[in-house]
């Protein structure tokens, strides 16, 4: 065997080992990179214990307010999993607080345009107080969220919109 064929034989072996590794191991390797939640990254920073029924405060310490980039937040804190609970925290309207709410769009077109015409109100202006408005991601489908106040201005100019597409929970039992 020449030098080249030894090298390619070794490479072949490494490939074989990688291919034959159960994919669960690869997932576990990614998941175990850290345990903190809410920082930057792509969401592989949860222990497998915490993968089920996780409660996530939308916006983290920013809560649900005008002018915070929630799409970016969702991207940085995803992926989300089926049966995760999102918590929207916003104070009921007062002399000093603008009202906020939570709507679900029916499609991406409306989401892009912040067109609330066919959207569904899921959390009204009062429901974000106290422990916040809780929404369970029951299905593996895109959820297109927005604040519906001021005829879409909070959604458009206020950046109060994001979408999540929950994944199948990787850990059961």
- Using CB under 5 A as the criterion, which residues of the chain lie in contact with Cu ion when the complex forms? 100, 147, 149, 154, 160
- As measured in angstroms, the least distance from the Cβ of 88 to Cu ion is 10
- As measured in angstroms, the least distance from the Cβ of 54 to Cu ion is 25
Q: What region does 152 belong to: left with phi over 0, alpha with psi -120 to 50, or beta? A: left
- As measured in angstroms, the least distance from the Cβ of 81 to Cu ion is 26
- As measured in angstroms, the least distance from the Cβ of 62 to Cu ion is 13
Q: Could you give the residue ranges of the DSSP H alpha helices within the chain?
A: 3-20, 23-31, 70-77, 108-113, 153-156
Is the CB of 46 or the CB of 154 nearer to Cu ion?
A: 154
Look at residues 107, 113, 103 and name the one whose alpha carbon lies nearest to residue 148. Answer: 103
- As measured in angstroms, the least distance from the Cβ of 82 to Cu ion is 27
CA distances (Å), origin 14, targets 11, 24, 25, 163 = 5, 18, 16, 39
CA–CA distance, 118 with 71 (Å, rounded to integer): 21
Is the CB of 31 or the CB of 155 nearer to Cu ion?
A: 155
Is the CB of 77 or the CB of 101 nearer to Cu ion?
A: 101
Q: Are 136 and 14 in contact (CB under 8 A)?
A: no
Is the CB of 34 or the CB of 67 nearer to Cu ion?
A: 67
Is the CB of 45 or the CB of 110 nearer to Cu ion?
A: 110
């Amino acid at each position: 065997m020449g030098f080249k064929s030894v090298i390619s034989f070794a490479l072949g072996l490494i490939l074989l080992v990688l291919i034959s590794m159960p994919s669960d191991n690869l997932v576990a390797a990614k998941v175990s990179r850290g345990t903190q939640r809410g920082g930057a990254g792509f969401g592989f920073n949860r222990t497998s214990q915490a993968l089920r029924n996780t409660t996530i405060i939308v916006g983290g310490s920013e809560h649900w307010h005008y002018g915070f980039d929630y799409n970016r937040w969702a991207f940085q804190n995803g992926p989300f999993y089926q049966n995760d609970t999102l918590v929207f925290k916003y104070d009921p309207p007062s002399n000093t607080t603008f009202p906020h709410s939570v709507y679900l769009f029916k499609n991406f077109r409306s989401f892009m345009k912040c067109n609330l015409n066919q959207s569904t109100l899921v959390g009204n202006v009062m429901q974000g107080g106290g422990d916040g408005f809780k929404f369970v991601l029951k299905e593996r489908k895109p959820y297109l969220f927005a604040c519906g106040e001021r005829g879409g201005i909070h959604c458009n100019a206020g950046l109060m919109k994001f979408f999540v597409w929950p994944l199948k929970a990787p850990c059961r039992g």
